[in-house]
Amino acid sequence: MLFQGFLNLNKPFDWTSHDCVARVRKLLRLKRVGHAGTLDPAATGVLPIALGKATRLLQYLPENKAYKATIRLGVRTTTDDLQGEIITSQPCTGLSLAEVKTALAQFEGKIEQIPPIYSAIQVDGKRLYDLARQGKTVEVPVRTVEVFRIDILDWREGDFPELDVAIACGSGTYIRAIARDLGASLETGGTLAALIRTESSGFNLTDSLTLTDLEAQLEAGTFQLVFPDAALQHLSSVTLPATSAQKWCQGQRISLTFDVPRIVRVYDEETRFLGIGQLQDEVLIPQMVFEPIS
């Protein structure tokens, strides 16, 4: 079977994103497999997987993400989650939900964030987690990220109270850093206790498949991938007449007499998805030809 599209995978706990790609590659017997939006091993949830030619469409997927997170207060760790070594552990029984709400508000909007030292960000060509494991101290670059919304879902009191939140954010936001910085703001320490990604690149957790689901569907012959253009609905589209569609698929530029956004989905008159085009000076330029017309 020819696989050209996307898989909405529910990543299991303790698997790396690379582990998931390798497993999908083996199950589908397909070489060209890639993923969008790396998830930490301790996180679960939506990991969009691209299959075949769709790997070239990963760059065009929407960037917004959403998570459900559990933040434990009173604890600091080396990795800003429970996978790391404990740096400090101090009960904070007097902490109130009102105090937490006030502190949490500062993390909405565009914020300056220092990523965890155990992260995949590169400094001088080397991954931060590799440098951290080698015991090297480096200055982690500050980045501007955007958090659209944080909703409190639950609050559990105790020596080490826990806060469940739903977070909608832009690309590059580290939820571990929010947990760490919330703890710093409250002067209690904080770390991420659990994380589920509920949305990523236009895919939702409710529609996702586990690796077990995928294997079962493949054995039963019922697996259906997500069509490539279904994942690109945030982009506007343009339909080309037959002659122009033929030329465009051959790599030729097409003059347009109407305005379209800069990046668009391209179709022919039979509603076949042809690929991605870019508009420059009223000329539509092929960026990725998905389905050539013979």
Check residue 145 and give its pLDDT: 95
List domains and CATH numbers for the chain.
5-62+202-220 (3.30.2350.10), 65-200 (3.30.2350.10), 237-289 (2.30.130.10)
Check residue 261 and give its pLDDT: 82
Task: Record the pTM.
Answer: 0.90
Please tell me the distance from the alpha carbon of residue 224 to that of residue 45, in angstroms, as a whole number.
19
List, by residue number, the catalytic residues: 40
Check residue 125 and give its pLDDT: 57
Please tell me the distance from the alpha carbon of residue 207 to that of residue 226, in angstroms, as a whole number.
10
User: In residues, how long is the chain?
Assistant: 294
Per-10-residue mean pLDDT of the chain, 294 residues long, equals 90 95 96 92 96 95 96 95 93 94 97 80 57 60 94 97 97 94 97 97 96 96 93 93 92 86 92 93 91 65
Check residue 260 and give its pLDDT: 78
Q: Pick the closest to residue 286 from 264, 261, 260 (CA basis).
A: 264
**Residue-wise over 70-107: b if at least 16 C-beta within 10 A, else e?**
bbbbbbbbebbbebbeeeeeeebeebeeeebeebbeeb
Using CB atoms within 10 Å of the CB of residue 207, give its burial: 0 to 12 exposed, 13 to 18 middle, 19+ buried.
exposed
